[in-house]
Amino acid sequence: MKPNQEPEFLKTKVEEIFLLQKQHSLKLRKSSAINRIALLNRILYWINKNQEDIRKAVHADYQKPYPEIDITEIFPVNIEINHAIKHLEHWMRPKKVGTPLIFLGTKAYIQYEPKGVSLIIAPWNYAFNLAVGPLVSAIAAGCTAILKPSEMTPHTSALLRRMVGEIFDTQTVAVIEGGVEISQMLLSLPFDHVFFTGSPSVGKIVMKAAAEHLTSVTLELGGKSPVLILEDADLKDTAEKIAATKFLNCGQTCIAPDYILIPVRLKDTFIDEMKKSLEKMYVSNKKGIESSKDYSRIVNENHFNRIQHIIADANLKGAKIEFGGNANREQNYIEPTILSNMKWDMKVMQEEIFGPILPVVTYENLGDAIQIVNQQPKPLAFYVFSKNDQKVNAIFNETSSGAAVANDCAVHFLHRELPFGGVNNSGLGKAHGHFGFLAFSNEKSVLKQRIGSAAVNPLFPPFTLAKKKLIKGILKWL
C-alpha cells in the first residue's frame, strides 16, 4: 500500500488489512509444512527470477555495488529460505518431553503454533535482506505479516511492494509504505508479534508501544561492537578481515566493527596493514577510493551530515586522522577513515558510528581492555583476534555480547544454525533458522491426563492422616 494518501483513508485501509489478516491467521493455524513450503518456494522463485531488478533497486538507493548486493542482500535470504524448506517439517513436529515420576500415566509435549498476525519493521541499511529474512521466518511459523519497509530506501521499498503483491494475497502478507506516522499507526494495533530492526533508541519506542497490547517483540538493534586484538594476532590477516567487514556497505552495518582495542606497541603496524588492505580492496589504476565501483555511499544527506559531524567533533577533541577523511557531499561519499588518539568523550566513542569511521584505541594490559568492553552497553557482536584459543575462551567468558567471534568479523550472520540477536541494549530475542521460526511461534505446553485419575489421586482432599504422611514423604523425596 502506497503512503501518498489521506491520513484517515490510510488509517481505515491499514485497519482493514489488519482485520483481514487477523481472520486469516486463524485458518493458518491448520496449515501444514507442505502449505508453508509452497509459499517459501514462491519467494525463492521470485527472487531468482528477479535478481537484476533487486540489484537495480538497491543500487538506486545508495550506489551499492552489484557484487555486494549479491553477497549481502540476495545470498543471505536464499540461505534462509533453503534452510527453512529443508528443516520446516522437523521444526513443526510436536516435541516430546520427559515424564517426571509424579506424572506417570500422562502424556506431554510441546506444540508449535503460529503467534498470529505479525508486524515486520525493516531498516534501510540492508533494505531487502532485513525485510525478507524475517518474513521467511513468519511464513515458516504460519503467521500472516504486514511488512513496513524503510522510507529512506524508496526504490527497494517499491520493489518489496511489487514482490509481495505478485506472490501473496493481502490476507497473508501486505506491504505498507510510509514514514514515522505509518509506523506509529501500525504500532497502535494489537499485533501478535512485532519484529523490529533498527537503533536502540527507536527499539525502546517500539517496545513501549507493543507493551500497550502485551505484544511479544523481537528487537534486532545495534550498538558499538568492539574488536579486541591481542599481542599474538596475525596483523595482516586481522587488518584484511576488519577492512572488508567494517567498510562493507560504507560502514552501515549493525554488526560492523565499531572500534579497535589494540596493544600500544602494535598500533602503528596495524594501521599500516589497514592502509594496505584498503588500497588493495578499493584503489585501482592509481585512482582514489572515490572512483572505486566496489565502495558504497551513505544512504542520504542527513546521515552524511551526521557522520561528518562525528569526524569534526573527534578532530576538535584531538583525534588524529591516520587515513582517509575526504568526502564529497554531492555523492554522499565519505572515504574510509581511521582515527587514533581517541578520548571517550568524543561522539565517535559515545554512539554507534554506522559509517566508515574506525577509531583505534590502545591499551597497556589485557585486563584494562576487558574492563573497557564490560563498562560499555552490551554489544551486538564482540570480535577477538588471537592465536591463543584458551585466552579467547577466557575473554568470551568474561564478557557479554549478542555474538562472539574469534579471528573474523560479521560472518556469524550467515550461519543458520546459530541464533542471531543482541542482549539488553543491543537487542531482545533471536532470529535466523530455527530461532526465527521460534520467534514467530508460541511454544504451547500440552499435557494429556488419563480419565479416571481423580478418583485415585492421593493429593486431592480430603486430607486424611494417610494422605498427610504421603505428602510429607513426597516432599522429603523431592
Phi-psi region of 319 (alpha: psi -120 to 50; beta: other; left: phi over 0): beta
Say which of 240, 254, 335, 409 is annotated catalytic: 254
- Cα–Cα distances in angstroms (integers) from residue 357 to residues 15, 303, 311, 424, in the given order: 43, 13, 8, 25
Question: Which residue do the cell numbers 569526524 mark?
Answer: 311
Region for 249 from its dihedrals, namely left if φ exceeds 0, alpha if ψ lies in -120 to 50, beta otherwise: left
Is 177 noted as a catalytic residue in this protein? no
Separation CA 241–CA 396 (nearest Å): 20
Say which of 68, 220, 240, 322 is annotated catalytic. 220
Residues in the chain: 478
How many angstroms separate the CA atoms of 370 and 261, rounded?
Answer: 9
The angle, 0 to 180 degrees and rounded to 10, between the axes of the packed helices 389-398 and 366-375 is 30
The sign of the torsion formed by the CA atoms of 332, 183, 219, 153 equals negative
* 400 strand-pairing partners: none
8 catalytic per annotation? no
Grid cell 534462509 is found at 80
Q: At what angle do helices 51-62 and 154-167 cross, to 10 degrees?
A: 160
- Say if strands 337-340 and 320-323 run parallel, antiparallel, or are unpaired: antiparallel
> 52-57 contacts: CB < 8 A, separation 24 or more?
53/159, 54/128, 54/159, 56/155, 57/128, 57/155, 57/156, 57/158, 57/159
In degrees, rounded to 5, the angle at the alpha carbon of residue 306 between the alpha carbons of residues 360 and 326 is 60
- Just list the catalytic residues: 220, 254
